[in-house]
Amino acid sequence: MSDITSRAQHPTPLHARTAELCTTNTWTEECGFTIPALYTSAREEHEALTTRVTLSDLSARQCWLIEGPDAAAFLSVLTVSDAARIEPGQTARTLWCDDTGFVRGEGLLARFAPTTFELSTTVRDFAWINDALRGFDVKLVNATGSRAVIGVRGPRAQALLAAAGLSGEGASTGSVTRPTWRPAQVALMRDTTGEGIELWTQAEDGAIVWDRLWRSGASLGVAAAGATTLEATRIENAIAKPAVDWQPAHLAIDASDMRTPSELGFAPDPTRKYNGAEAARRSRAKPQVLIQLAAESELVTGPITARNAVAGKLTSTAWSESRAAAVALAWVDADVAKLGTKVAALTTRGTTTAEITREVFAKS
Amino acid sequence: MRNVGAATEFDVVVIGGGVNGLVCAALLAQAKRRVVVVEAMGRTGGACQTNDVVAGHRVSTFAHLIGPLDAQVVKALKLARHGLNFTAKQISTVALSPEGRHIVLDGDLRHTTQSLSAHSQNDAKAWAPFDTRMAKIAGQLQRWVQTPPGGAFEQATRGGSLFATRPTARAGAALDAEFGALLDGSIGELLDAEFETPLLKGAIAFDGIVGSAVSPRTQGTAFVAALRAALEAEAPDGIVHPQGGAGAFASALQKAAEAAGVSIRLNARVTNLLFENGRTTGVALAGGQAIYAPIVVSSMNAKATLIGLGAERYLPLGLKRRLSGFRAEGCVAKVNLALASLPSFKGLDKRHLKERLLICPSIDHLDRAFAAYEQGTFSPDPALEITIPSTHDASLATPGQHVLSAHVLYVPKTPAAGAWTDATKKDLIAAVGSTLRQYSPDLPELILGADLYTPADVESMGGTPGGHWHGGDLTLDQLGPLRPMAGMSRYGTPIAGLFLCGAGTHPCGGVTGINGRIAAEAVLAGAPVTA
């Protein structure tokens, strides 16, 4: 039996289905799993995602079950979230920090029952969290690979769920529903971007749910969207990604790539004593701000400058089909982070001017 | 349930009545704190005990050499008034040669050079400059071992000189370079570059190990040798032997503590710490009794205290992982022998029998013993540190008879083949006897009785978690600002009100009392949690 925690790359529970659809045969690695990079073309997938509905294989993630009488108490120390206030069936985007207040990981915390939670994330940190359990009556189970997760996105997403018999009375995001067509549980979750739906099932039910959605969506123009398209959408929507836009504290080589919860848009209750809270509250001497940039030519990651001085670092970039422009995310010094500010960013052939179009974690 | 905020009977609970626990308790009591020491065993002293081998033959059960004692402790506690009397001071080291060409390392340049000449003229010439250089480094380290870490090391990491007290910038730079070499290399590498006599190198290498599960080829062992030299340089009496053995030293400490007002409770095993709002408020005892105090000082090592006494729930999460990696498993056994008469060692003057006798003929010999240890067993020819305290302390044996005490390197706490049995213990005693016979052919026939204490016995009978003489390996990742680990090197812990004072804290273990003294100072100063 293969070790799911090793660095070997594994197929997801949906691999048989995605492989059939992946006409380009281009794949990428995510969190130890292989997933299609592009099923057809960036343009076609983008069109389907923005005008109709797409399915994506989001199973490439770590899934950890936290079970036991102290599960909520432990998670309230581990994460910045007050797990006791998450009702069964609800989810919360959350972070967890090291002892010095820098973020180790980000994920979606779901409560299935009073003493049962699941944390899904793209950050590998099982061993550290397992050691952190000491002193709590709680068990951590690595369920990575045992969960199939299907992302449903696009303006016809709700229509697709309805057509597949997965919506209706009581079926809201964060709820667990039992479809009549299969004696399996499907959990509907708000995905980490907040702009789509995730369907969580047991691995063995993944292909069945995928098939059902695929058939039900035929009349709605359903298509599959690969990692490249989702990545472009992520950057368009200004969603920061761990290990790309910021480095988990335990993986960072450069300390300046580590982030505090406040830099990632979290404002935990100051009275809460989550791990690293006191240290995290000590503000950085020079905090940085994550912004979105737009430019006419394609950008590459690297330093960006403003007023002839290095002002920050560009961390992820993509070509936006909908905007017909390059979009990127970058960390800049707080005094530079004003909408409309022009900065110089690297391209494959030199530098170009890019404009700050959004502050990612701006308080609305 | 206790009334929160209610007055408590004590200001401080000290867990463990070993040397550092007693020193810390006594000094806190002298500073007008109401202190209670809770000791799991039926007597104080920890690894400092004296017991019978056979009737009429008493010997230091575990630790057999005392010191270098912290001069401030000796002065503050007035130990002489409480019955402490030394029968030997400035105990030197003699590296035993199976051929009788022993090397005397007694701090007297003439003696050492003379004995080295029998082995190598080159080494005889090289000894004086080496000894001078090490003494200088030891002198500079003295201040460092006497104070909580942070200052000097922080200075070094900021690019400044390690030695704040250097006489001149030039001299300081030279010492920094020497110090850097110590940190970079092993004691084996250092000695190979200086000397050619295996016996000399083996003896000095032994002091780079001093009870840690490392090879003489392990990085950092050169620094540990310098650390030991620094501790010895500090103590006016050097290594000493108290009349009546190590137990007599513990007895004097107990009396000093009680005279200062410390209350001592024996057979009082702490099962867990007590907490309110994440702060420690006392201890719970095995009998169900609780003792409340706003300050708890533990002389157990960090892992045994924080993980073993139920503090995990209140610890920073990452610290739990780091604590689990703290290495505190003993690798030294103790063999005590009752002898019918004084043994003779080939070529060794009888006056040297009161010294510390080392059987460690080479670095490779030590390295082979370590290799066996790594395989979960012991070498058939182990390295030994021997004392024959009855040569100067008549209270230990009936006239004409003697006791011999030997530390045995390296011995696993739990052999790979399983727990220690009578058979495997006999094998180890036989290995020690066989080794001794090479140097003292008549010795095995003089044995009237023998006791063996494996590291597992040291843990259970000495009350030393892990059975480690030093409360944790002396390695670069567990020394200075990293001892017991980063963030806790200044005797405080992440738990408010909880302090550490045992051998597992800065600067290292051994019977010195320094840890207990600096910990008491930290408690009185309201020690910051982080270093």
Q: Nearest 5 degrees, angle CA B23-CA B24-CA B27?
A: 85
Q: Which residue from B89, B477, B33, B88 is spatially nearest to B295, judged by alpha carbons?
A: B33
pLDDT recorded at residue A177: 59
Distance CA A10, CA A148 (A): 13
Instruction: Tell if the CB–CB gap between B316 and A134 is shorter than 8 Å.
Output: no
**In the structure, what pLDDT confidence band is assigned to residue A184 with cuts at 50, 70 and 90?**
low
Which amino acid does the sequence have at B384?
A: L
The residue of chain A with its CA nearest to that of B311 is A135
E-assigned strand segments in B259-401: 263-265, 270-276, 279-285, 290-292, 295-298, 332-339, 356-359, 383-387
Which amino acid does the sequence have at B204?
A: I
Q: What is the pLDDT of residues A103-129, one digit of tens each?
A: 999 998 989 899 999 999 999 999 999
- Other CB atoms closer than 10 Å to residue A155's CB: what's the count? 12
Q: Which residues of A touch B316 (CB under 8 A)?
A: 99, 275-276
pLDDT tens digit at each of 531 positions of chain B: 455 456 789 999 999 999 999 999 999 999 999 999 999 999 999 999 999 999 999 999 999 999 889 989 999 999 999 999 999 999 999 999 999 999 999 888 998 999 999 999 999 999 999 999 888 888 888 878 888 876 544 444 443 344 343 334 444 555 567 777 777 789 999 999 999 999 999 999 998 888 899 999 999 999 998 888 888 877 888 899 999 999 999 999 999 999 999 999 999 999 999 999 889 999 999 999 999 999 999 999 999 999 999 999 999 999 999 998 999 999 999 999 999 999 999 999 999 999 999 999 999 999 999 999 999 999 999 999 999 999 999 999 999 999 999 999 999 999 999 999 999 999 999 999 999 999 999 999 999 999 999 999 999 987 788 899 899 999 989 998 889 988 888 899 999 999 999 999 999 988 999 999 999 999 998 755 443
How far apart are the CA of A63 and the nearest CA of chain B, in angstroms? 20
Q: What's the helix, strand, coil split of chain B in %, to 5?
A: 40, 20, 40
Q: Output the average pLDDT for chain A.
A: 89
How far apart are the CA of A78 and the nearest CA of chain B, in angstroms? 7
SS3 B470: coil
How far apart are the CA of B267 and the nearest CA of chain A, in angstroms? 26
Q: Nearest 5 degrees, angle CA B247-CA B251-CA B252?
A: 120
SS3 B527: coil
Q: What is the ipTM of this complex?
A: 0.83
pLDDT recorded at residue A330: 97
Contacts of B504 (CB under 8 A, 6+ apart): B300, B301, B302, B326, B328, B468, B470, B471, B472, B483, B484
The residue of chain B with its CA nearest to that of A79 is B317
Please name the residues between 244 and 283 in chain A that touch chain B, using a CB distance below 8 Å: 273, 275-276
Q: What percent of chain A has pLDDT over 70?
A: 89
* Cβ pair A330, A345 in contact under 8 A: yes
More confident residue, A83 or A5: A83
pLDDT recorded at residue B154: 41
In chain A, what is the straight-line distance between the N-terminal and C-terminal CA atoms, in Å?
A: 49
Structural element, H or E, at residue B87: strand B86-88
Q: Is the pLDDT of residue A194 over 90?
A: no
Q: Does B277 touch chain A (CB under 8 A)?
A: no
Cis peptide bond upstream of A274, omega within 30? no
Q: Is the pLDDT of residue A220 over 50?
A: yes
- Regarding pTM above 0.90, the answer is no
Mutate which of B305, B307, B314, B317 to test chain A, going by most A C-beta atoms within 10 A?
Answer: B317
Mutate which of A79, A102, A131, A137 to test chain B, going by most B C-beta atoms within 10 A?
Answer: A131
More confident residue, B266 or A279: B266
Q: Does B376 touch chain A (CB under 8 A)?
A: no
Contacts of B106 (CB under 8 A, 6+ apart): B90, B92, B93, B112, B355
* Cβ pair A25, A35 in contact under 8 A: no
SS3 A362: coil
Distance CA B58, CA B51 (A): 5
Q: Does B307 touch chain A (CB under 8 A)?
A: yes
Look at the block and give the residue holding tokens 């340089």: B233
A to B CB pairs, distance under 8 Å = 38
The residue of chain A with its CA nearest to that of B325 is A131
pLDDT recorded at residue B373: 97
Q: Which residues of A touch B314 (CB under 8 A)?
A: 135
| B294 secondary structure, DSSP code | S
Q: Which residue from B388, B225, B406 is spatially nearest to B332, judged by alpha carbons?
A: B406
Distance CA A136, CA B304 (A): 18
Distances in Å between the Cα of A193 and the Cα atoms of A51, A152, A291, A354 are: 18, 12, 16, 24
Q: Which residue from A196, A195, A200 is spatially nearest to A210, judged by alpha carbons?
A: A200
Of B310, B311, B320, the CB nearest to A131: B320
